[in-house]
Amino acid sequence: MNHKPPSQKKNPNITPDAHQGKAASVSLSRQLQATAAVVQAVRAGRSLTTELAKVSPDLRPGVQALTFQVMRQLGRAMALRERLASKAPPPAADALLCTALALGWQGEDAPYPVHTLVNQAVDAARQQRQTQAQSGFINACLRRFLREREALVADTDSDPQARWNHPRWWVARVQEEYPEDWEKLLDMAQEPAPMSLRVDTRHHSVVDYQAQLLAMGLAAKPVGATGLQLERAVPVNQLPGFGLGHVSVQDAAAQVAAPLLLQGREAEKAWRILDACAAPGGKTGHLLACYPNAQVMALDVDAARCQRIEDNLQRLGTQAQARALVRAADAAQPAQWWDGVAFDAILLDAPCTASGIVRRHPDVRWLRRPGDSAQLAQTQAQLLKALWPLLAPGGRLLYCTCSVFRSEGEDTVQAFLQRNTDARMLPSPGHLIPGKIPTGLPVEHNALGEHDGFYYALLEKDRD
């Protein structure tokens, strides 16, 4: 039986050959210890991004590469561990055991020979206090795995969590909401996300910038109106003009927002725009590029994340900084920050489960719980209710989330429309599903390539 997982491509967003170079001088057992610690933290509900930032610099490249692979194969690893030991060991030992199983269950795609992984995982268990007492148990489980791997893997094939490497409830929800596309959607979630760029066409045309990249040996294809998708990821400091704001890293689906907001209206007008929940500022910068005379207020409830917006604006230059006001405030509490002057347009990129960006953040699937989507839908409804009165008659509000769950997209918007008779839906893309060519975009050429999962609804307020 072929046990090949949906995808095992190398992640283009990870430093190429992350296990080589500087990381090669670090023992594999140390890398496995650090990787298991990150995995344990994610299983306890902490963000992978936050935990990786805590890893020492000499370990981080290798640990990031290993951890991303573990996150994408954790469902299979947990199923295998359940067959090797029905009772879970303490969290640290369980995380190390699952790390080894996730990395080694599909031998030809393992980052190291499977026997090496097993030996080094056992060494890692013996070398640290948290797992020393369970080192014999880990050794026994992994030696049995080596002997019975084919049979053990075959026994897990019928488990949806093992087969698709997503929680069972997640698989069931996607099956229910996308009966024709659910397999494709889950397959795509295993694919490492491409690196996509947005070219500021005030500096270069897309074609010119594409030529600059090609001259550096970087192939790219056009996506959307002003985007390029790189054949392979590179550090941003290698991108021509990045520090000058000539190009920004932004997924092709996220690039839909700014041009869609005021599609068909005069771009040169001095629009007053609110970018709610704006961090890290990618869409803020795009709004300023699309509407050169607009004044944009960028809000985020987290002051630290507001600094990221400021950093982005600084990179884009003084003109962008002059036309943007960044505020740390809760968008759902306008009385605390609104000056009473209505906005012509509002972009609401609402908090969500991030179920559409699992390719970039493979820990998301293991952080979320079945009830999270419904709770976040309540937050989304509260934000819509709070911000709608701030919109001028005839103004537009673009609601978006990076989620594929309908409770955070279509269901939320339809409920809002039923409660607000002065709102009407304009032509909108709706749910953008990875792997499917989208419709209802603000441009009719150049599909979005391998884009993230998003939802877009463009609402307009009656003028009466």
Q: Cα–Cα distance between 230 and 247 in angstroms, integer?
A: 13
Counting Cβ atoms within 10 Å, is residue 272 exposed (0-12), middle (13-18) or buried (19+)?
A: middle
Contacts of 146 (CB under 8 A, 6+ apart): 114, 115, 118
In sequence order, the β-bridge partners of residue 458 are: 398
Type of residue at 192: P
Cβ neighbour number for residue 41 with a 10 Å cutoff: 19
> Which DSSP string do the residues of 116-151 spell out, in sequence order?
HHHHHHHHHHHHSHHHHTTHHHHHHHHHHHHHHHHH
Cis before 280 (ω within 30): yes
Q: Give, for 207, the enclosing helix (H) or strand (E).
A: helix 206-215
Q: Three-class SS of residue 40? A: helix
Six token digits for residue 434:
């990875």
Q: Give, for 114, the enclosing helix (H) or strand (E).
A: helix 114-127
Query: In the chain, what's the furthest Cα-to-Cα distance?
Result: 75
Counting Cβ atoms within 10 Å, is residue 68 exposed (0-12), middle (13-18) or buried (19+)?
A: buried
277, 306, 352, 402: the catalytic one is: 402
402 annotated active-site: yes
**Residues designated as active site:** 402
